């Protein structure tokens, strides 16, 4: 151990987080050649290439992915020891938080989160990484994010989860659309042209699965990959969207839309924040989770 430079672990962690040598260098205050030199030493130490150059940046090898969570934990323990249990002071901290948000969660939370940071912790910086139902927990495991928010599977025991709220569904259509002039029954709902939001581009989603359980089917005319597009497309067409309530409630300036309950019962889904157990006692992380919780309660 005496012959090992533990600063190499800082370079390793930055490369995992950034996936790019130049950005990793900027993150830890080194030059790009210094990071390349450190990577060569890491490769010799591990006996593995660790990171492979590709059009997408520096892609970690399986050995690097296996080592990443343990190295991140080691560095956080060192940081905790050096902090000496000092109280986290958000107004003075220059810390960077890396957060994974689903498209939906970014739309609902991020404007309020950035406003809170600007008021209460102006020196703190945020790195927001896009995540999804299937990608969120693996991103926590590998250490590429330290907190995620959205809808995710039940995590294993070494990952923590806090329920923020249960989200229900509403229907939205253009306010002057003739087909929506009267209370909408199920038969007329099924005959309308529908908008579906799917980050994977799947025209059959959660609502369609609920309908299929009853032997019903709607006509999905347009599928888009971003929640932000849904209100704008509905407002400019005869499409009807059946989407999470907060998608329409979080619009910066209300569009002339008609919001009404779906003519069929659609079970709500859970919106949570999740993190690795190694962050449990981190005062800064506790503060961040509290901010996210407060924002969720206000939405």
Dump pLDDT digits (tens) for 113-142: 999 999 999 999 999 999 999 999 999 988
Per-residue pLDDT at 2 = 61
- Count of other CB atoms within 10 angstroms of residue 239: 21
Does residue 231 register a pLDDT over 70? yes
Distant-in-sequence, close-in-space partners of 230: CB < 8 Å, separation ≥ 6: 172, 195, 197, 224, 241, 243, 247
Average of per-residue pLDDT across 39-56:
91
Question: Above 60 in pLDDT, residue 18?
Answer: yes
Closest Cα partner for 9 from 61, 58, 55, 46? 46
| Confidence band for 161, pLDDT divided at 50, 70 and 90 | very high
| Rg of the chain taking only CA atoms, in angstroms | 23
Cα separation of 190 and 112, whole Å? 36
Distances (CA, A) of 293 to 35, 120, 129, 277, 285: 37, 16, 19, 18, 12
What does the DSSP 8-state code read for residue 237? S
| CA angle, 77 then 81 then 84, to 5° | 145
Are the CB atoms for 233 and 195 separated by under 8 Å?
yes
Check: pTM over 0.75? Answer yes or no: no
Residue 196 has pLDDT above 70, yes or no: yes
105 has a pLDDT exceeding 70: yes
Q: How far is the C-alpha of 40 from the C-alpha of 1, rounded, in Å?
A: 18
Tokens 């080691």 -> residue: 74
* Distance in angstroms (rounded) separating the CA atoms of residues 274 and 266: 25
Does the pLDDT value for residue 292 go beyond 60?
A: yes
- Determine the Cα–Cα distance for residues 213 and 283; give it in Å rounded to an integer: 46
Express each pLDDT in 59-93 by its tens digit.
999 999 888 888 887 887 777 677 665 678 899 88
What pLDDT does 213 receive? Answer: 95
């Amino acid at each position: 151990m005496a012959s090992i430079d533990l600063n190499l672990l800082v370079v390793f962690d930055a490369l995992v987080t950034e996936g790019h040598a130049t950005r990793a260098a900027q993150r830890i205050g080194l030059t790009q050649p210094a990071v390349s030199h450190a990577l060569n030493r890491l490769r010799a130490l591990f006996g593995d290439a660790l990171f492979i150059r590709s059009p997408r940046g520096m892609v970690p090898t399986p050995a690097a992915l296996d080592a990443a969570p343990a190295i991140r934990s080691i560095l956080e323990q060192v940081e905790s020891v050096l902090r000496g249990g000092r109280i986290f002071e958000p107004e003075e901290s220059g810390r960077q938080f890396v957060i994974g948000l689903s498209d939906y969660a970014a739309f609902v939370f991020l404007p309020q989160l950035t406003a809170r940071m600007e008021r209460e912790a102006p020196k703190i910086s945020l790195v927001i990484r896009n995540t999804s139902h299937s990608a969120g927990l693996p991103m926590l495991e590998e250490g590429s994010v330290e907190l995620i928010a959205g809808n995710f599977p039940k995590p294993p025991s070494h990952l923590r989860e806090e329920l923020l709220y249960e989200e229900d569904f509403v229907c939205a259509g253009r306010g002057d659309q003739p087909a929506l002039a009267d209370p909408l029954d199920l038969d007329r709902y099924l005959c309308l042209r529908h908008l579906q939001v799917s980050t994977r581009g799947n025209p059959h989603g959660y609502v369609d699965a609920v309908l299929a359980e009853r032997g019903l089917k709607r006509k999905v005319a347009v599928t888009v990959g971003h929640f932000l597009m849904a209100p704008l497309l509905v407002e400019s067409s005869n499409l009807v969207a059946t989407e999470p309530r907060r998608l329409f409630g979080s619009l910066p300036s209300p569009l002339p839309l008609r919001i009404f309950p779906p003519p069929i019962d659609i079970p709500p889904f859970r919106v949570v924040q999740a993190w690795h157990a190694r962050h449990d006692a981190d005062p800064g992380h506790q503060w961040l989770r509290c901010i996210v919780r407060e924002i969720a309660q206000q939405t």
